Structure 1
């Protein structure tokens, strides 16, 4: 018996050391640890598979229509926190299709950015309530804004610009008190701004330009806006004065200073536009504002009046200038003609009245009178030679002048008009000319 016991002791195997046991246990833990930390949550996998199918199964690395592990396999544009999908960012990669109806199945998604693609269809009603940044601008989305936007209470940034959205903006902003940036620009939205927009106490940027939104801006006057763009809409009425304190306020392209009034009753007389304001606008509550206060620009009627006044002023200035120029031209022409006529007259006088034999010029036109003609005391002697008819004419004229001089009064002035008529008369002959020359010589 003792021999058998000793044999058994020699065959028994020694137990493994403690370090070896610890190593085996650590390997088992390490092999199981990655599976528990990185395996994507099943509901998120279902949601992303549905989105991929709705987009038309585009060529995206890692993406599949069924199953898969987005967080472990690093699908393109997918961000994870532990086993949950927290962001999907796929901007400007020509995605088509639609958004589908599985977005609400995401359990922890925070950011969804699918801007600048060609995604069509409508915005689904079922949206993930955990979303904070929602960007779908630059696509081909149509239809109206979903009323389920009111459930996105964690939303801080949303851009749905440059799509084909239509209809009125729903009254869904009462609970979106954390919304900071909102962009609905370049769509076909209509109607007034909803009253719940007044609850957006964190809103600093609002872009709603290039739509057909109407009504007034009163709902925005108490918001902490720093960037407000409402260009190219149908806003009317006065602009609240508080909005002029917005650092970047763009408001062109709106019919401000007018109000949309309901159709008047058939029995009611049409109010005079100069005395009665349009219906629905109480002048006692709203003081008259200058163009700079209401719109920053003059109204259309003021612009037209100013333009008309300027146009009339330009016409008057042009007419006065033309009249002055015409008068100056006429004055210059008249002066030129007067000088020319004086030159001609002086030349004609020189030609008609030659100098006398003793070197003296004849009496000028305009002189008061010609000196007295004294009596001729001596008798002129007839020439003995018979030169002809000319000498007889001179002799006869001398005798006539002697008789006339003795008969006339001493202080009779010679009539210049008569002299001119005599000189220019074609019926007078050489005899009359000799008479005049003789009288002038005797008088001088």
Structure 2
């Protein structure tokens, strides 16, 4: 007899499929099971561009020229919050090249630390840095030339700025008037020239300011009212006096400049009292004049009074003369008027 098929014979087949699937998942590494990339597409594009701008260095583990998943694959030096890149920390890796031209699109970036590399090659720092949330910018110990990028002006949340030991040159760009959160500024060991920009006086939160070893000139009065606890302006070309407020700073270094010796000049003349304050009220009330011949009434007032009296006198004289002439004309008219007879009411006979 032939073998009769059992009903429900499909069940063992389904069980076999499940068993096979479980075996495959156990053998395949979980790290290779990726459903979809987790990094924001805009951030990914910016990091691909940065990798190319850095000459695609092999020491950056996980980085790619195209595609990839920085947050999901944990690219070296990249910190994420969810799908957004929040920090790029690549210090002391021997990197060359420059920053990416589209880093301003990374709207969640809070920190950039690419210090102690060989970036720039004498070229200026890319002007379009991220500004929305950036709090820390550290490009110290590189080879950046040019001046401060204008994009720093829009970094309202910036707290830490370090560009020391670069090749910055020329008059310092005034990018400071909008940085009320900035607490640390280090521009030391560059070739910056000219007077300090007025915008520095707007750094209402700054505690540390390093400007040493540049070629800065003029006075440092613009720093007088800042809440500094650590100031270094040594080895520049500053002149004038060191403001008394700055002499109270705990850590102050000013050597290597051409300061003016001796006491500082007196306060501006606007605090001086008015010149007529020397006259006492008693003398003014008594009407007596001072011993040097000066009276309480100024010469202009006296001249005005005299002119007024002359004008009034002339007007009075004019009306008096006019009245006399009128009287004479009336008298002359009466004397020479011909006699006029009036008609008589008498009835002629």
TM-score w.r.t. the length of structure 2 is: 0.64
Residue 175 of structure 1 aligns with which residue?
178
Extract unaligned runs of 5+ from structure 1.
1-9, 12-33, 259-280, 287-444
1:355-384: CA deviation from partner (whole Å, max 9, x where unpaired): xxxxxxxxxxxxxxxxxxxxxxxxxxxxxx
C-alpha distance in 2 between matches for 1:199 and 1:283: 25
1:141 aligns with 2:140: no
1:91 matched residue in structure 2 = 91
Q: Which has the higher helix share?
A: 1
Cα deviation digits, residues 282-329 of structure 1 (max 9, x gap): 77749xxxxxxxxxxxxxxxxxxxxxxxxxxxxxxxxxxxxxxxxxxx
- Structure 1 window deviating more from structure 2 (121-130 vs 247-256): it is 121-130
Alignment CA distance shift 1:252-1:156 (3 Å):
same
* Cα pair 2:46 2:105 within 8 Å, conserved: yes
Q: 1:193 aligns with which of 191, 196, 214?
A: 196
Residues 210, 84 of structure 1: CA spacing in aligned structure 2 closer, same or farther, 3 A cutoff?
same
What is the CA–CA distance in structure 2 between the aligned matches of 1:158 and 1:49, rounded to whole Å?
25
CA distance in 1, matches of 2:129, 2:97: 18
Unaligned runs of 5+ in 2: 1-6, 9-33, 270-349
Q: Does 2:216 correspond to 1:213?
A: yes
Does residue 251 (structure 1) correspond to residue 251 (structure 2)? The answer is no
CA distance in 2, matches of 1:217, 1:92: 34
- Tell me the alpha carbon deviations over residues 28-81 of structure 1, each in whole angstroms, 9 at most, x when there is no partner: xxxxxx857x71000000001111100100011100011100000010010000
Greater radius of gyration (CA): 1
Q: Is 1:114 matched up with 2:114?
A: yes
Query: How many Å separate the matches in 2 of 1:126 and 1:63?
Result: 22
Q: How far apart, CA to CA, are the structure 1 residues paired with 2:97 and 2:205? A: 34
Q: Taking CA–CA contacts closer than 8 Å with sequence separation of 6 or more, which of the two structures ends up with the larger relative contact order?
A: 2
Equivalent position to 2:239, from 236, 255, 265: 236
Residue 148 of structure 1 and its aligned partner are, at CA, apart by 2.1
After superposition, the C-alpha distances for 1:234-255 in whole angstroms (9 at most, x for unaligned) are 1110110000111000000010
* Residue 48 of structure 2 corresponds to residue 45 of structure 1: no
TM superposition score normalised by structure 1: 0.51
For the residue of structure 2 that corresponds to 1:85, the secondary structure is strand
Cα distance between partner residues in 2 of 1:203 and 1:285: 27
Instruction: From the superposition, tell whether residues 247 and 168 of structure 1 become closer, same or farther in structure 2 (CA, over 3 Å).
Output: same
| Deviation readout 1:115-140 (Å, 9 max, x if unpaired) | 00000121111110121100000001
- Choose which of 194, 202, 207 in structure 2 pairs with 1:204: 207
SS of aligned partner of 2:209 = strand
Structure 1 runs of 4+ with >4 Å offset: 281-286
Q: SS in structure 1 opposite 2:258? A: coil
- Cα distance change on mapping 1:284 and 1:157 into 2, 3 Å: closer
1:224 aligned to 224, 227, 248, which one?
227
- The question of 1:123 aligning with 2:125 is answered yes
Aligned length: 242
The CA distance in 1 between the partners of 2:166 and 2:267, in whole Å, is: 42
Aligned to 2:293: none
Partner of 2:321: none
Q: Do 2:164 and 2:190's aligned partners in 1 also have CA atoms closer than 8 Å? A: yes
Q: Secondary structure at the match of 1:127?
A: coil
State how far apart, in whole Å, the 1-side matches of 2:42 and 2:79 are: 15
Q: CA deviation at 1:89?
A: 0.5
Q: Provide the secondary structure at the position in 2 that maps to 1:57.
A: coil
The residue that corresponds to 1:64 in the other structure is 64
**Structure 1 residue 145, shift from structure 2 partner:** 1.2
Distance across 2 between alignment mates of 1:148 and 1:175: 11
Distance 2:148 2:175 in 1: 10
Following the alignment from structure 1 to structure 2, what is the Cα–Cα distance between the partners of residues 116 and 110?
19
Shift of 1:100: 2.9
Alignment partner of 1:79 is 2:66: no
Does the aligned pair in 2 maintain the 1:43–1:107 contact within 8 Å? no
